């Protein structure tokens, strides 16, 4: 079975995760795909395939004779889809021999256009898979799941030598909890790759340092007729907080290694208000400076309006995996070698986000990220190609072959 065939099947399973939930998985429906994958892995010959109580799927393929001393290599993808846009009742469109032009997305009124997505012209001649415009597609990251499963099938159906291979599928990556309860020791890999990126030639080992920040503002609500020198309007204080941040350090004004403050939510009235931000920067010193700026705003406004008016909460989300990958650059070198052998040009670039691999790298499992062949994730314009998925499978198998020749 080819990767895209599995993919078309998996995207029909509703696995959207839910924000602001304490339990993992955030939605029980994520078990629907997890249980299905366990059954399929067992059918393929992965005898120890299992899903735990928190919806993490694990399985191992023992080393072939003579490769027992090769490093154990893991491949990881996440099963959930983003809550940003509907992931229910996904109905993919398949366009064979795509001409590089506009694609009408069902009856949604939306059009996938090279005017907006210039890379579409590079996909000319391929088989394109799109949404019907009413949901996301789920390539992030059911494409990665499909590619790992297909690589497993092809590996077990061949006589290719390999070391121990570890398989992992996680819930809740899209809501920031994907690595929280991952059993690194039980997983059993020396090194791993997440398969959760964009174009199939993508290799990522640099990502943002990331935190979430929330300002809670307590106002003083006085009848507006008697409010002079007494009222503190929490909503106006919230507006003041946002105005104190550098206007050019926002997502819409930054790129590559440039960090940002991103206002993701706001609510409030005169008495209470809240602002939620995500804070990002590749450079650890710049990242710390951004957090200090937020704390300084809290201090200044409490001095201005009174102690307790503004309360800031900051929690770390993930860190730049480069710190943990640079001592293990063979992970990157092997991936680049495989791509070049396939006639591809590796695209090694920083990701303006994070993956489970970033968290896992700091949990003791060095874990860069590979592309899946997908584009425009998290929305109705999401798309992928059959050929890109096939190449991702070949890259996974090529990496396995590289490590089969090494010893720990």
DSSP letter at 135? Answer: S
- Please enumerate in sequence order all residues whose Cβ is within 8 A of that of 309, keeping only pairs 6 or more positions apart, or say none: 217, 218, 219, 232, 237, 301, 302
- Residue 347 forms beta bridges with which residues? 202
Q: Which of 80, 147, 200, 356 is catalytic?
A: 80
**Got the DSSP string for 96-107?**
TT--SS-EEETT
Indicate if the alpha-carbon torsion angle 259, 265, 268, 271 is positive or negative: negative
Q: Could you give the CA distance from residue 361 to residue 351 in angstroms, rounded to a whole number?
A: 15
CA distances from 250 to 256, 278, 288 (A): 13, 10, 16
Strands 110-112 vs 128-130: parallel, antiparallel or unpaired:
unpaired
**CB burial of residue 258 (10 Å; 0-12, 13-18, 19+):** middle
Other Cβ atoms within 10 Å of 64 Cβ, number: 16
- Which DSSP symbol is given to 190? S
Q: Determine whether 180 is an active site residue.
A: no
- Cα–Cα dist 276/267, whole Å: 9
What DSSP state is assigned to residue 125?
T
Q: Which letter does DSSP use for residue 171 in this model?
A: S
Cβ-contact 249, 255 below 8 angstroms: no
Q: Give the whole-angstrom CA distance, residue 238 versus residue 223.
A: 20
In this structure, the chain runs to a length of 408
Nearest to 74 by CA among 138, 158, 152: 152
Catalytic residue among 40, 153, 172, 173: 173
Q: Evaluate the omega torsion of the peptide bond into residue 141 and state whether it is cis, within 30 degrees of 0.
A: yes
Q: Is 80 labeled as catalytic in the residue annotation?
A: yes
CA distance 46 to 61: 6
Q: Would you name the residues annotated as active-site residues?
A: 80, 173
């Amino acid at each position: 079975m080819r990767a895209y065939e599995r993919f078309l099947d998996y995207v029909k399973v509703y696995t959207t995760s839910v924000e602001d939930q304490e339990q993992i998985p955030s939605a029980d429906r994520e078990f629907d795909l997890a249980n299905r994958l366990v059954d399929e892995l067992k059918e393929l010959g992965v005898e120890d395939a299992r899903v735990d109580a928190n919806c993490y799927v694990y399985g191992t393929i023992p080393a072939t004779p003579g490769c027992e001393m090769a490093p154990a290599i893991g491949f990881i993808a996440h099963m959930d889809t983003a809550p940003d846009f509907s992931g229910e009742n996904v109905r993919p469109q398949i366009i064979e021999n795509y001409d590089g032009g506009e694609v009408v997305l069902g009856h949604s009124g939306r059009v996938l256009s090279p005017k907006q997505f210039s890379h579409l012209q590079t996909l000319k001649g391929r088989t394109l898979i799109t949404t019907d415009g009413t949901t996301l597609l789920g390539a992030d990251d059911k494409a990665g799941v499909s590619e790992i499963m297909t690589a497993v099938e092809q590996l077990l159906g061949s006589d290719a030598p390999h070391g121990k291979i570890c398989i992992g599928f996680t819930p809740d990556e899209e809501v920031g909890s994907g690595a929280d309860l991952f059993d690194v020791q039980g997983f059993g890999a020396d090194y791993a790759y997440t398969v959760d990126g964009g174009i199939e030639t993508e290799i990522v080992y640099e990502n943002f340092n990331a935190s979430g920040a929330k300002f809670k503002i307590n106002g003083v609500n006085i009848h507006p007729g008697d409010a002079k020198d007494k009222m503190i309007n929490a909503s106006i204080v919230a507006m003041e907080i946002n105005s104190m941040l550098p206007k050019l350090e926002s997502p819409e004004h930054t790129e590559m290694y440039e960090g940002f403050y991103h206002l993701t939510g706001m609510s409030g009235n005169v008495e209470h208000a809240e602002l939620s931000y995500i804070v990002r920067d590749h450079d650890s010193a710049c990242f710390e400076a951004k957090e200090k700026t937020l704390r300084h705003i809290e201090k200044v406004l409490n001095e201005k309006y009174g102690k307790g008016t503004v309360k800031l909460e900051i929690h770390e989300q993930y860190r730049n995996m480069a710190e943990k990958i640079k001592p293990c650059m063979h992970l990157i070198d092997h991936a680049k070698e495989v791509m070049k052998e396939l006639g591809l040009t590796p695209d090694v670039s920083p990701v303006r986000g994070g993956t489970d691999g970033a968290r896992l790298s700091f949990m003791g499992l060095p874990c860069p990220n590979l592309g899946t062949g997908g584009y425009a994730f998290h929305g109705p314009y999401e798309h992928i190609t059959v050929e890109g998925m096939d190449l991702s499978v070949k890259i996974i198998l090529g990496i396995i072959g590289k490590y089969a020749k090494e010893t720990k």
